[in-house]
């Protein structure tokens, strides 16, 4: 992705969100041609010249000091996620340009990470990368997102499910919020790692196939996704109101462990227990089918040859 255009559009959309009144500036007359602050007003608030800010908003963040970035973040009233995104864009601009690369196919997580997942037996848990692929999960994690695994495309991907699978509208009661959060997370990752070809391919696919995605992508919103609540509607156990925590795996750059928990004594806790029972039944049936299939083939022997 082009760092200059990303920077230009990000700064322009943030500027458009701040009114003079919100910035504490006097307003003279009612004929303003821009929806938010003018470039000169942002420059004044950040303590830089209009010419310098114009250069920044044209996408040139190379060599910009942390002090200027912090002043710019204050002038535009950026939240924590937006400020981090601005610093990511500046970092990418100051790095020697590298060719866009394709990451290797997703590999299984380390054995100890899978053991950790499997040791979590009372809560859905999974490991996700920055592109929102599920790269590993425990039994409850796979059961929770069973709708996502109906599609044969692997690895299962949250963004692809939300925008390209009709099941997502039933699975997420507040689909609009889920869609907005998903795009904001991908935009954050794009700023953090603009040379990830896998992410670029995913964004290209979603932009081509989904108007809903294209509209949200153009907004340049970003989000950090470390804790919160989710409302899901599972086809087997019904409504689930879950809390989640996301932890970065220090030894595996780009991977995060997410664990979903239910409030003790809640109906969701009962539903999670039911989900665990259903998952165990499904697993037993699969294992039985895999065991019986070769046994049946042995009993029947090779098919008779036609004369």
- Domain positions in the chain are 3-93, 111-285
Cα angle at 300 between 299 and 301, to 5 degrees?
95
Residues lower than pLDDT 50 in the chain: 100, 102-105, 300-307
Tokens of 234: 């599972």
Handedness of CA 14, 17, 22, 28 (dihedral sign): positive
The Cα 139–Cα 216 span in angstroms is 33
| Architecture of the structural domain at 3-93 | Orthogonal Bundle (1.10)
Q: Note whether 97 and 68 are within 8 A (CB).
A: no
Nearest to 247, CA basis, from 259, 238, 231:
259
Tokens of 211: 């108007």
Residue 32: what pLDDT?
A: 75
DSSP string across 218-244: TTT-----SEEEEEEEETTTEEEEEEE
Nearest to 273, CA basis, from 145, 146, 136, 124:
124
| pTM (two decimals) | 0.85
Cα angle at 11 between 181 and 25, to 5 degrees?
110
Tokens of 188: 């954050």
The order of strands in the sheet holding 255-261 is 134-137, 125-129, 255-261, 238-248, 227-234
Residue 33: what pLDDT?
A: 76
Cα angle at 40 between 36 and 21, to 5 degrees?
40
The Cα 126–Cα 134 span in angstroms is 7
Q: Note whether 281 and 143 are within 8 A (CB).
A: no
Best CATH choice for the domain 111-285 from the list 3.30.470.160, 3.10.20.30, 3.40.50.300, 3.30.450.180: 3.30.450.180
Residue 133: what pLDDT?
A: 97
Residue 302: what pLDDT?
A: 44
Place of tokens 């010249």: 49
């Amino acid at each position: 992705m082009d760092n200059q255009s990303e920077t230009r559009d990000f700064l322009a959309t943030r500027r458009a969100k701040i009114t003079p009144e919100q910035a504490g500036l006097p307003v003279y007359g009612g004929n303003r041609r821009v929806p938010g602050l003018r470039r000169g007003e942002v420059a004044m608030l950040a303590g830089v010249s209009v010419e310098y800010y114009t250069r920044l908003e044209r996408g040139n963040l190379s060599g910009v000091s942390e002090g200027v970035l912090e002043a710019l973040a204050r002038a535009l009233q950026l939240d924590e996620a937006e400020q981090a995104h601005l610093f990511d864009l500046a970092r990418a601009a100051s790095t020697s340009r590298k060719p866009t690369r394709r990451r290797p196919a997703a590999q299984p997580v380390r054995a100890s990470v899978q053991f950790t997942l499997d040791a979590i037996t009372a809560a859905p848990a999974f490991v996700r990368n920055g592109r929102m692929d599920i790269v590993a999960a425990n039994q409850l994690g796979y059961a929770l997102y069973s709708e996502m695994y109906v599609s044969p495309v692997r690895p299962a991907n949250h963004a692809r499910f939300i925008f390209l699978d009709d099941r997502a509208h039933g699975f997420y009661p507040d689909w609009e919020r889920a869609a907005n959060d998903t795009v904001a997370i991908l935009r954050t990752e794009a700023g953090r790692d603009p040379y990830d070809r896998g992410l670029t391919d995913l964004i290209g696919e979603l932009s081509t196939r989904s108007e809903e995605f294209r509209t949200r992508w153009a907004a340049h919103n970003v989000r950090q996704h470390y804790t919160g609540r989710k409302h899901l509607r599972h086809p087997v156990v019904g409504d689930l109101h879950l809390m989640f925590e996301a932890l970065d795996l220090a030894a595996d750059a780009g991977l995060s462990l997410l664990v979903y928990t239910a409030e003790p004594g809640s109906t969701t806790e009962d539903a999670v227990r039911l989900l665990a029972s259903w998952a165990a039944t499904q697993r037993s049936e699969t294992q039985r089918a895999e065991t019986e299939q070769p046994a049946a083939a042995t009993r029947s022997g090779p098919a008779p040859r036609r004369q």
